[in-house]
Structure 1
Amino acid sequence: DAALTLSSSKQLTESKAARAEVQVTRDQLARIVEELAAIESRAAVTRDEIVSQRADQLNQRVYVLTVLAGVCLPLSVLTGMLGMNVGGIPLAASTSGFLITTLSMLTLSAVTLGVLRMIKWI
């Protein structure tokens, strides 16, 4: 806009050389502005791609944490119940109670993982 105003001023209409120089400068400025607009649009596309990649990485990490929580939650409930100091805890008097409890927890983990694989979550 400033170059257009300058090229149409009365002082430049008297000098053809000055008018031509202003015209060349105006054309150069127009090309620079167009290049800057193109660079800005390419930068926006690049920024959007980076944001998309980071969102995908975050979603993948959240997915892994969700599956891990799904496997650990039943085990946590079971160990919490078995850790209470009350009478009547199953296998408390048995000499192989710890082994049976450990094997049952491993079985529960395997079943949980099997179900997650069966429904194609992992």
Structure 2
Amino acid sequence: MHEEDVQSLRESAEEFSVTLRDMAGLHERIKLLEEEIADRVAEHTNRSVLILTAVTVIALPINLIAGFLGMNVGGLPFRYDPCGFWIVMLIAVSLTSLAAWLIFRLRSD
């Protein structure tokens, strides 16, 4: 082989080595970016699940009371009381307000 060919091969090998190092660095950066994107998606999912849980917990007392009052059985509380509907409504609103206050108070802490 001629000296020029050997020198050309050395330069090509060095350029190839630099390119490989650059590619390895880019590969690491891509991994970091993928992890950051995955973390952001997980955070968004957690926030969505928290909101869904809060709405479910807030609606739970009203749904339970509506379910109990919708049953066709005897012995319902406040059935013959003229203010029975309003008493049940007061209980439902109180429980819902308490649940909402607890959810939002714990969330702000």
TM-score (norm 1): 0.77
1:64 equivalent in alignment to 2:23: no
User: Which residue does the alignment assign to 1:103?
Assistant: 90
Deviation at 1:89, TM superposition (A): 1.3
Larger Rg: 1
Alpha-carbon RMSD across the aligned residues, in angstroms, is 1.8
1:113 equivalent in alignment to 2:100: yes
1:51 equivalent in alignment to 2:10: no
Gaps of 5+ in 2: none
Moved over 6 A (4+): none
User: Which residue does the alignment assign to 1:8?
Assistant: none
Secondary structure of the structure 1 residue equivalent to 2:42: helix
For 2:64 and 2:29, the matched residues in 1 are separated by 52
1:42 equivalent in alignment to 2:29: yes
Q: Sequence identity of aligned pairs in percent?
A: 23
TM-score (norm 2): 0.85
Deviation at 1:95, TM superposition (A): 4.3
User: Which residue does the alignment assign to 2:79?
Assistant: 92
Deviation at 1:104, TM superposition (A): 2.2
Gaps of 5+ in 1: 1-11
Deviation at 1:62, TM superposition (A): 1.0
